[in-house]
Structure 1
Amino acid sequence: MSRIVIRGIPFLTRLRAAKGGAKELLERDRARAQKFLAGKSHHSFLSAKAKGARSTGTDSSIDVTDSGVTYTMQVGVGTPATDYTLLIDTGSSNTWVGADLPYNPTSSSQDTGNSIYVSYGSGTMFGEEYTDTVTLGSTLVIQNQGIGVASYAEGFEGVDGILGVGPVDLTQGTVSNTTDVPTVTDNLYAQGTISSNLLGISYAPSPTANVANGELTFGGTDSTKYTGTLNTVPLTTTSPASSYWGINQSVSYGASQTILNTTAGIVDTGTTLLLLATEAFQAYQEATGAVQDSTTGLLTITSQQYANLQSLYFNIGGVTYDFTPNAQIWPRNLNSILGGNEGQIYLIVSDLGSSFGSGLDFINGFGWIQRFYTAFDTGNKQLGLATTEYTNADTN
């Protein structure tokens, strides 16, 4: 089979009121960014041994579901399978369960005897590494998939764990006595279930909470989910962005004002906002006239400023992608998720928290991916991008 599509009810966008509102969301996204900036080996099993498995160090205890917007899907583990709600994460590569619903070993479960420790900046898990049968959707079965089983997890309320679909190198150092742990996509390809080591992701903006509006395509792309050409760009060689799904891009506000010169950063489903290096964020704030809202911590603009808001133009691999004014704002019908005021206009562009030149100067997060079809192509070490019917949508 060349490709397998996972769509519909098992694949949801999760939106629920955050305990700490948008400030909690910002804290989570920036903690995650700092973890990325530290590099892939900064938080590993080896560092866990040094500081004690249950210590979270500088990690924040953040609710990754309640703090904003995430995508989850139902993943079956075991024979017969138990269904777990897992967060889809391109910024990490370990798949694990047990944060909420306990793991139940079955006839296909094998305890490797090895320990697993993974930190996300915004959360931490520790436990035992198993191999087991994993089922994606109703028919896509993976044999002997490495699965972490959490004995301790902090920062993952509302989900059972993570479906890690980042580069496999991110698993290095996370499991004792193990070089790396092939991802679900790696194993699907190695076992001959899919013909290409590639994952296509289609997200869509929505003013409604908890809707089934996303799609994963393992082994290919779904041309019905994008418009025009799927453009490809090689992954960046600049560290630390090169450890993740990193690319080079520049960003302009309007047709003529460059706010971020060509530099490296990442595309990440696990980050909600669009984060820019501090200098670029400050230039954006000045250009828009936005002010920081004391309640949410986000930038906010008036209705008149929104009427004058210009597109952000992303130049990636010589192709320009138009991130429209509507794409730059939080869905106004969902302001309660932020702890914000009804009808107020909040911007999703925020400060990465580090200066230009760090080797990771932007994160194109969830809000950005909702507007552009994205293909994470491990086999060819490239990223594919295309416009969709939602690129110019006014849903927000």
Structure 2
Amino acid sequence: MRLTLLLFCALVCLIVVLAEGRERRASSRRSLGLRQQRITRNVRQRNRQSARARPSSRTRKLSAVKKSSKKSNRYGQSFATTTGSRIALKNTANMEYTCKMSIGTPKQIFTILPDTGSSNIWVPGPKCTSRACKIHKKYHPAKSSTYTKVGTAFAITYGSGKVTGKLAKDTVRVAGLAVTNQTFAMTNKEPGTAFVESNFDGILGLGFRSISVDNVKTLVQNMCSEGVISNCVFSICMRGGGSSKRGGALIFGSTSTTAYTGSETYTYTPVTKKGYWQFDLQGFYLGSTKVSGSSQAIVDSGTSLIAAPTSAFNKINKILGCTVTSSGECWMKCSKKVSDVTFVIGGKNFVMAGNKLKLKVRTTKGNTICISAVSDMGTSFWILGDAFIRHFCTVFDVAKSRIGFAASSLSIAVNFGSCRQLRISLHGVENPMGSELSNRFLSINSSTSSNDTDKIRLPLRNRNNIEYFGIVSMGTPKQMFKVMLDTGSSNTWLPSSNCARSNWACQNHRRYDSSRSSSHVKDGRNFTLYYGAGSVIGYLSKDTLHFGGKELPNLIFGEAMFQYQEVFDSVIFDGIVGLGLGERAWANSTPFLDLLCEQHLVEECVFSVYLRRVPGSLRGGEIIIGGIDKSRFSGSIHYVPLTEYGYWKFEMTKVSVGLEKIDVGVSAILDTGTSNILMPEQSYDILHKALKATTDYGLSFVTCELDSLPNIKLLIAGRTFPITPMDYVKEVLLEDSIKVCITRFAPINLNFWILGDVFLGRYYTVYDATEKRVGLARAVPDVAMGG
């Protein structure tokens, strides 16, 4: 499957900002399925879409012990009382804060994003050919006399996809401090558009070692152990302000930030779980209204806004009277008066002026809209991003495992620039759906006609035309789960009750408990699954799967111990049931589809997919196992042979727009795990040129006059399957009823197309495992509406 739910995360992020949202699941889910979208990651998905002007190569190392009138003028404060080693942050539209860092001897200087939500350092490597690497500075080990080869493989997954590379060691310098033999990653792949559209070359992780990929010792940890800094702390103070690029400072080894706070007094609170900088937020008030009591929170410099738990966000939304987009942003009238906001931390109230909760955004077309600084990422905890740190300087005390806060005295402007620069956090977590909602969903969707008892019907729930999932149970007695039924993969897995407490994705979803199931059989083999937007690690078990009124005993499935990365945090579904063929299943295992056919639970080893794309509707269609439903499509079914038995993959003769050929003789995959339509980068460029689209930092804008836009024609085995503008164009409504329109396509670094939910919403699809073929027919138009 691909977790298209990531690339989507990045594109989604942009889409979200542009007013309706992250429609690309995680495609948040959907980056190359949970592959290309499932950031989102959200960005953490980080969907950091910012102005792409290449940053200056000039480094500014501002030693905190030096007193300079130039520095004083720069920040409007005196730095005479500031100690520690400090480096200036550059502010891009209040959405992205970066600084300079060098690696090697002589120094190779990079623009990096200081990120308290991750723990590794990485920069583009010399062998990276991704689009992002081509426009950012690369590290060249051959040019450094202090380089040491490590060679261990490195992989970390964001909302836009998996960044991979090799580990190396060299001297890393930041803020005038040098750490020799620091382990970092040279990337060889940076997929998606999120990193293409960012100003930074790489990332400086400032989290704890427990979340460091490959257990690499962090930069701050080395600074402390090697005596580079005597006080094992670092501080971040951010500065906001209209078009100003002055962004505050990152300070190592000191809590003295009087230049920003006006005092040395901080309120400290203990870290509740080492990994992220996590603590207990004792309360959140909007005016005199208590929105939230005690709950967990994370301080994350890699997130632009503030993400609230869903329940708290709903209360805030009700008070503000704003319009919520499908990606979780809250749009409001710019004239709206907002009460002050209070964060209760360590027994003290931290007050932020209400007008700072309202952010003005300029669209690429020069229009002004307003959004709330608080967004909804479906989390059970708070993520306090840049919108919080700008108001409260934060001390990260590594030695004492605590976080300190003090109100910032720096001025912050309300207007923060272009909407294309909004980033989405990479750390989104989806709460488990309550049993009451699950039961209500089942009751309205699980009817089966009496004359159709030879087929198994699995109703689907639709989340904003981005994520489709169904309900199944595992074990005896039944343990209920929400699962994505994924035609892009063949294995089944569920979160395990034995998963690590530090793994947010697992802890915030339903978990399978083998000790509660009398039908459980131990397997014990370990497994690792890689998706475009993440990976899953665990061990295999065997139990009975219950679905659609049927039982499937002895299904080998995975109990997930770890789910990386944030893409799995941001989705609703708990696990995945793979609907792919046996060629891509685990060795010595029979996947779901093959097993139910072997056990003759259905007469035909066939299933069909009907997706319902009705805006605002929870009913998402159904998957019919054992045959087809003629009421769901019109005309005849057009069958095409598979070209690769691992995937539901077939050949497209041609893709065209009018007389313009977009692609010829190219393969395509039908993928319920992808939100949009993904295609090779070259095809993407040709297509958008034919559509006369304007590309603006990861989004392709077209006219909203849909009648003037052409159909995109897919010629498949002699029959043409058009995709209409109603399918591939997303209309976003800005304030004052200003409309912009974007396409639902995304480029991938592969040589085939992935036809996700945008295509599957228009066409009823049949998957015939016996004849090794797929079938296509026009879905009933009055139900399969464009979303």
Partner of 1:191: 599
How far does residue 20 in structure 1 lie from its aligned partner after superposition? 7.8
Partner of 1:352: 748
Partner of 2:703: 302
Q: Which moved more, 1:345-354 or 1:78-87?
A: 345-354
How far does residue 59 in structure 1 lie from its aligned partner after superposition? 3.5
Change (3 A) 1:56 1:185: farther
Q: SS in structure 1 opposite 2:624?
A: strand
How far does residue 279 in structure 1 lie from its aligned partner after superposition? 2.1
Partner deviation per Cα, 1:22-52 (whole Å, 9 max, x = no partner) = 4574685248369xxxxxxxxxxxxxxxx99
Q: SS in structure 2 opposite 1:385?
A: strand
How far does residue 169 in structure 1 lie from its aligned partner after superposition? 1.5
CA distance in 2 between counterparts of 1:93 and 1:153 reads 18
Change (3 A) 1:257 1:272: same
- Equivalent residue runs for 1:152-301 within 5 Å: 152-154=562-564, 155-157=567-569, 158-172=572-586, 179-208=587-616, 211-237=618-644, 243-294=646-697, 297-301=698-702
1:60 to 119, 144, 158: 158
Partner of 1:40: none
How far does residue 326 in structure 1 lie from its aligned partner after superposition? 0.6
Partner deviation per Cα, 1:113-152 (whole Å, 9 max, x = no partner) = 2112111121111112111111112x11101111211111
CA distance in 2 between counterparts of 1:201 and 1:96 reads 21
Q: SS in structure 1 opposite 2:613?
A: coil
How far does residue 180 in structure 1 lie from its aligned partner after superposition? 3.9
Q: SS in structure 1 opposite 2:155?
A: coil
Paired residue total: 338
Q: SS in structure 1 opposite 2:158?
A: coil
Greater relative contact order, per chain length (Cα 8 Å cut-off, separation 6+): 1
- 2:486–2:671 contact (8 Å) kept in structure 1: yes
How far does residue 395 in structure 1 lie from its aligned partner after superposition? 3.6
- 1:293–1:299 contact (8 Å) kept in structure 2: yes
- Equivalent residue runs for 1:98-109 within 5 Å: 98=495, 99=506, 100-105=509-514, 106-109=517-520
How far does residue 282 in structure 1 lie from its aligned partner after superposition? 1.2
Partner deviation per Cα, 1:150-179 (whole Å, 9 max, x = no partner) = 11112322321111111122124xxxxxx2
Partner of 2:775: 384
Higher strand share: 2
Partner deviation per Cα, 1:314-334 (whole Å, 9 max, x = no partner) = 11111111211111123658x
Q: SS in structure 2 opposite 1:344?
A: strand
Partner deviation per Cα, 1:323-369 (whole Å, 9 max, x = no partner) = 11111123658x99xxxx97421211221234xxx3xx211111111
Partner of 2:725: 325
Q: SS in structure 1 opposite 2:488?
A: coil
Q: SS in structure 2 opposite 1:102?
A: coil
Change (3 A) 1:30 1:129: closer
Percent identity for Structure 1 against Structure 2: 25
2:12 to 21, 25, 31: 21
- Equivalent residue runs for 1:33-112 within 5 Å: 57-60=155-158, 69-98=466-495, 99=506, 100-105=509-514, 106-112=517-523
What letter is aligned with 1:123? Answer: G
CA distance in 1 between counterparts of 2:652 and 2:782 reads 18
- 2:611–2:784 contact (8 Å) kept in structure 1: no
TM (normalized to structure 2)? Answer: 0.40
Change (3 A) 1:56 1:142: farther
Q: SS in structure 2 opposite 1:243?
A: coil
Where structure 2 has 5 or more consecutive residues not aligned to the other structure, the ranges are: 15-21, 38-150, 160-425, 431-462, 496-505
CA distance in 2 between counterparts of 1:275 and 1:220 reads 28
CA distance in 2 between counterparts of 1:217 and 1:147 reads 22
Partner of 1:45: none
- 1:115–1:128 contact (8 Å) kept in structure 2: yes
- 2:669–2:753 contact (8 Å) kept in structure 1: yes
CA distance in 2 between counterparts of 1:321 and 1:372 reads 9
What letter is aligned with 1:236? Answer: T
What letter is aligned with 2:767? Answer: F
Change (3 A) 1:56 1:112: farther
CA distance in 2 between counterparts of 1:231 and 1:120 reads 30
CA distance in 2 between counterparts of 1:30 and 1:136 reads 27
TM (normalized to structure 1)? Answer: 0.77
Partner of 2:558: 148
Change (3 A) 1:226 1:325: same
CA distance in 2 between counterparts of 1:260 and 1:19 reads 25
- 2:465–2:613 contact (8 Å) kept in structure 1: no
Partner deviation per Cα, 1:3-26 (whole Å, 9 max, x = no partner) = xxxxxxxxxxx9xx9798345746
Partner deviation per Cα, 1:44-98 (whole Å, 9 max, x = no partner) = xxxxxxx99xx98243366698997121111100111111011121111111111
Q: SS in structure 1 opposite 2:620?
A: coil
Partner of 2:526: 115
- 2:713–2:721 contact (8 Å) kept in structure 1: yes
- 1:244–1:266 contact (8 Å) kept in structure 2: yes
What letter is aligned with 2:31? Answer: D
CA distance in 2 between counterparts of 1:64 and 1:300 reads 30
CA distance in 1 between counterparts of 2:582 and 2:726 reads 35
- 1:118–1:126 contact (8 Å) kept in structure 2: yes
Q: Which moved more, 1:163-172 or 1:374-383?
A: 163-172
- 1:22–1:67 contact (8 Å) kept in structure 2: no
How far does residue 375 in structure 1 lie from its aligned partner after superposition? 0.9
CA distance in 2 between counterparts of 1:369 and 1:383 reads 13
Change (3 A) 1:236 1:371: same
